[in-house]
Amino acid sequence: MPTITVINQAGEEKGVEAEEGRSLMEVIRDNGFDELLALCGGCCSCATCHVHIEPSFKDKLPEMTEDENDLLDSSDHRDENSRLSCQIPMTADLAGCRVTLAQED
């Protein structure tokens, strides 16, 4: 099972085991990071699961869809490493990745 590091909005880091096949959003939510709201439950319709992915792992992620891109455009905290965690399936390729929870808009 891959392990990733999640950095909360206060800058505190926690290593978590990430079951392959689940979404990154599910992994983060189920490990007690309450600031990741994930209001739509993973339907790519709210952007409350916005995260910043470590740049060296970006090429291991699926391409961003137009819907995801549009939702991220609504965030004041979007940057070149922004993704919606509900759109990232956990794979062994993401072992060691550092993910920072975006600040709330």
DSSP 89: B
Q: Supply 82's token pair.
A: 């922004």
pLDDT tens by residue, the chain, 105 residues: 899 999 999 999 999 999 999 999 999 999 999 999 999 999 999 999 999 999 999 999 999 999 999 999 999 999 999 999 999 999 999 999 999 999 988
pLDDT of residue 61: 97
Pairing relationship of beta strands 3-7 and 98-101 according to DSSP bridges: parallel
Domains and CATH numbers, the chain: 3-101 (3.10.20.30)
Whole-prediction pTM value? 0.95
DSSP 25: H
pLDDT of residue 105: 83
